[in-house]
Amino acid sequence: MALPKHASPLEKIWHYCYLVICGLIFLFLIAPILIVIPLSFNAEPYFTFTEKMLSFDPTGYSMRWYDLLLTFGMQAPDVARDGSWWSDAWQNSAWIQAAKNSVIIGFFSTILATVLGTLAALGLSRPEMPYRRAIMAILISPMIVPIIIVATGMFFFYSQVGLANTYIGIIMAHATLGIPFVIITVTATLVGFDHSLTRAAANLGATPTTTFFKIIMPLILPGVISGALFAFVTSFDEVVVVLFVADFDQQTIPRQMWNGIREQISPAILSVATILVIVSIALLTTVELLRRRSDRLRGISQS
């Protein structure tokens, strides 16, 4: 958006004002996410920059809140840090337990959502699909319906069929919430999919299964993986359904954070937040690389 040479002074002033405004809005977007990173290294139990931190005094910074993440909930946190200390942490640390649960639930719900969602997206993007619009609307609706309504409905239903307080119940619930993302990303990949490729494969004697795995799958794989990542993030960040459907000892990272924020907010929350921000940066990078690869594969060039 270069300013033309003939711009009047007023236009020039407005142009720079506009750039400053945009800069401030970008700051509004990104600052809250980045601010937690330095604060999580605070040596004091405060949520603000201490004077020592501002003057970059090393004693103002510490890893104590990250350490607390490991030791919180351990049976003997104060003994020497040898093998048994680490196994104690692995077995009993509340945050590690929560992380394990989150990963297990996220992993299986992602698999479920991705497999079912990809199949459905293949069907939905065929031109002869009947009732396409209505079915699509139903499949996307878990993203639109307020989460409290979903959680309430699932609470009653799962208690009745005996799925409440089980991992299977939470996995099914999270898969349902992740499905819209898989459908959206995979159908987006299938837009402009060259169907003459599948016909060519069939013409050369490939069975439908061979065609799927050798021709379709490699082409849509980037979309499938980004859909899977979306589904995983959805599950990994979900707290309301877990609060309603899960058992008390089925803690997940978001639930643990939720409790932490509601009861006694401590900088340990900030260190979890920092770890999660780093995870999301990694995920964002992966998805972006996948998107570019997908565009290249499909011949949509991007300068």
Partner 1 sequence: MADATMGAAPTQAQPEQLTTVDGKPLKAALMAAQAKARRRAFLLVLPLLAFVLVTFVAPIGQMLHRSIHNPGFTEHTDLSDGTQTEIMVNLRGWFDANPPGTEPDEAAYEALVSDLVLLRELRAQGAVGTRINYEAPGTRSLFTKTTRRAERLEAPFKEAILDIDEDWADPQLWRVMRDASSAYTLNFYLAAVDLEKNSEGDIVSVNENRAVYILLFQRTLILSLLITALTFILGFPIAHLLATLPLKYSNILMIFVLLPFWTSLLVRTTSWIVLLQSQGVVNDTLVASGLVADESRIQMIYNQTGTIVAMTHILLPFMVLPLYSVMRPINPSYVRAARSLGATSWTAFRRIYFPQTVPGIGAGALLVFILAVGYYITPALVGGSDGQLISNLIAFHMTNSLNWSLAAALAALLLFGVLALYWLYDRLVGIDNLKLG
**Per-residue binder mask for partner 1 (CB under 8 A), 178-217, x = binder:** -x-x--xx-xx-----------------------------
Contacts (Cβ under 8 Å, ≥6 apart) of 42: 49, 50, 53, 60, 61, 62, 65, 267, 270
Q: By CB under 8 A, is residue 168 in contact with partner 1?
A: no
73 or 223: whose CB is closer to partner 1?
Answer: 223
Structure-block tokens of residue 248: 């008390």
Q: By CB under 8 A, is residue 157 in contact with partner 1?
A: yes
Given the rule CB under 8 A, which of 55-63, 86-94, 213-221, 236-244 is the region that contacts partner 1? 236-244
Distance CA 270, CA 273 (A): 5
The residue within the footprint of partner 1, chosen from 18, 86, 90, 213 (CB under 8 A), is: 18
Contacts (Cβ under 8 Å, ≥6 apart) of 148: 240
Q: CB of residue 294 vs partner 1: minimum separation in angstroms?
A: 12
Is 190 in contact with 121 (CB distance < 8 Å)? yes
The residue within the footprint of partner 1, chosen from 137, 217, 289, 300 (CB under 8 A), is: 137
Q: By CB under 8 A, is residue 289 in contact with partner 1?
A: no
Residue burial 50-75, b: 16+ Cβ < 10 Å; e: rest:
eeebeeeeeebbeebbbebbbbbbbe
Q: By CB under 8 A, is residue 130 in contact with partner 1?
A: yes
The residue within the footprint of partner 1, chosen from 215, 221, 237, 297 (CB under 8 A), is: 237
Q: By CB under 8 A, is residue 3 in contact with partner 1?
A: no
The residue within the footprint of partner 1, chosen from 13, 16, 22, 86 (CB under 8 A), is: 22
Given the rule CB under 8 A, which of 66-74, 83-91, 93-101, 233-241 is the region that contacts partner 1? 233-241
Given the rule CB under 8 A, which of 57-65, 80-88, 91-99, 282-290 is the region that contacts partner 1? 282-290
The one-letter amino acid code at 120 reads A
Is 266 in contact with 44 (CB distance < 8 Å)? no
Distance CA 149, CA 174 (A): 14
What does DSSP assign to residue 4? Answer: P
Near partner 1 in 38-97, by CB under 8 A: 39, 46-49
Is 185 in contact with 223 (CB distance < 8 Å)? yes
89 or 185: whose CB is closer to partner 1?
Answer: 185
Q: By CB under 8 A, is residue 162 in contact with partner 1?
A: no
Is 158 in contact with 220 (CB distance < 8 Å)? no
**CA-atom Rg of the chain in angstroms:** 25
Given the rule CB under 8 A, which of 61-69, 70-78, 80-88, 272-280 is the region that contacts partner 1? 272-280
Q: CB of residue 5 vs partner 1: minimum separation in angstroms?
A: 13
92 or 266: whose CB is closer to partner 1?
Answer: 266
Task: With CA atoms as reference, report the closest residue to 142 among 132, 150, 131, 133.
Answer: 150
The residue within the footprint of partner 1, chosen from 43, 53, 74, 154 (CB under 8 A), is: 154
